[in-house]
A = this chain, B = another copy of it.
Amino acid sequence: MGQQEKIPAEEALNLVLGKVKPKDADLKIEIKDALGRVCAEKIFAPIDNPPFDRSPLDGYAMQSADTAGASAENPAQLRVAGTVYAGDVFAGKLGKGEAVRIMTGAMFPPDCDCMVMQENASIADGGKIVSVSAPVAAYENYIRAGEDIRKGQLLIEAGERLDFARLTILAAMGMDAVPVKALPVTGLLCTGDELAAAGKPLPTGKIYNSNETLIGSRLRELGFSPKTLPASGDDAGAVAAKIDSVIDELDALITTGAVSVGEKDIFHEVFNILGAEKLFWRLNSKPGGAILTGIYRGRPLMCLSGNPFAALTGFELIVKPVLGKIASRADLAINKRRVKLRENLPAKPVRRFIRARVENGEAAFPAEHLSGQIFSIAGCNSLLDIPAGAALEAGDETEALLF
């Protein structure tokens, strides 16, 4: 493949995916810090849950045999030999015709095989006698140890993301830490002599740097904590030196700006200075077609357009799934869905990605969607994939890539 040819996004993505591998450093972190992280190993249950046979209700634990033949006329009367609360252990030994007052969640005394909820029991002699007016079956109202989780069973697969439910499972096992995949360290460098810093008056001819917020916030939404390098001007030597100085601290570097064909599109020169391996330059789609990627000292360099929506498109098509592979995050792979268009889209000669809001299988898109336009990105949740030459009408189907 010639490096200067425009190629389909799918082919471009595969070129980069073929060159990166999952970050293999694993570490053990506390459960309370592990939300959203990727589990690094299969985890098997160290204990049963519940850990012991326990009562589901407040009432009286007993031996079912002692209730045989009980009726309203001839109730079984049992002596209450004690009380067991949740968290306690009943120390005594139960004889025939004896019961124990038991609370929800309390461990069954070993001699009992059932319980009667207090609403179905009659008490006499100041709580010392409990009467039951019907036979109770063995293991009625009886939760057995391991009914929820059996010691040794697989709890979490390696690669699963730790959400509230999976962390709760680990907590119920008494685990205070969990092995997780290391979070990739992502770097973000915005370039352009036209970029001005926020919070100060805008010099004539300059624009504020919105790409740092665009890509930085998107990374944070996906669970990364990007290292944001100070924005840089269009000096290839300075940018190359900057990249050279930080690359060893990073697992991937994302840049914006200076990847087209103009005089100040310095990244071709930056790659030459660094001696970085070029993987592809330019997709056969718009916007975001101007994207240059390569490998430098084993790390992917992903250089996006300076136009905000073009940068976002390149991010979704290439950067997100590449970071997904490095982070072992299956949920960051390209996520396509067939959707119905709500409006017509006239044909254009080039494959396009159009910002859209997909809801209930239908895609609405803003009238204004040029690549430099930011405002209409708000509310969108996907890119519509519009094939070259396709004139689509309301009701036609196409594919959407969900953010």
Which A residues are within 8 Å of any B CB, using their own CB?
31-32, 35, 47, 49-52, 56, 58, 83, 85-89, 103-107, 143, 147-149, 155, 163-177, 192-196, 198-200, 202, 204-210, 212-214, 216-218, 220-221, 228, 234, 260-264, 306, 308, 368, 370, 372-375, 377-380
Known interface pairs A87-B206, A107-B204, A148-B375; 9 further A-B residue pairs with C-beta atoms within 8 A, sorted by A's residue number:
A32-B213, A58-B260, A85-B194, A85-B263, A86-B194, A164-B214, A165-B377, A169-B375, A171-B208
Q: Give bound CA distance, A212 to B218, whole Å.
A: 30
Within 8 Å CB of A264, what residues of B?
Answer: 85-86, 103
Within 8 Å CB of A194, what residues of B?
Answer: 85-87, 105-106
With A107-B205, A193-B87 in contact, is A210–B165 under 8 Å at CB?
no
Q: Are A373 and B148 in contact (CB under 8 A)?
A: yes
Q: Are B214 and A105 in contact (CB under 8 A)?
A: no
Residue of B nearest to A305 (CB): B104
Residue of B nearest to A107 (CB): B205
Q: Are A195 and B87 in contact (CB under 8 A)?
A: yes
Q: Are B213 and A170 in contact (CB under 8 A)?
A: yes
Q: Are B210 and A172 in contact (CB under 8 A)?
A: yes
Residue of B nearest to A34 (CB): B217
Give the residue of B148, B193, B200, B263 whose beta carbon is less than 8 angstroms from that of A372: B148
Residue of B nearest to A204 (CB): B89
Within 8 Å CB of A172, what residues of B?
Answer: 207-208, 210, 308, 374
Interface of chain A, helix or strand or loop or mixed?
A: loop
Q: Are A262 and B89 in contact (CB under 8 A)?
A: no
Q: Are B149 and A86 in contact (CB under 8 A)?
A: no
Q: Are B378 and A166 in contact (CB under 8 A)?
A: yes
Q: Give bound CA distance, A277 to B206, whole Å.
A: 59
Q: Which of A31, A171, A200 has the most CB of B within 10 A?
A: A171
Within 8 Å CB of A202, what residues of B?
Answer: 47, 51, 174
Q: Closest CB-CB distance, A287 to chain B, in whole Å?
A: 11
Q: Which of A35, A220, A374, A380 has the most CB of B within 10 A?
A: A374
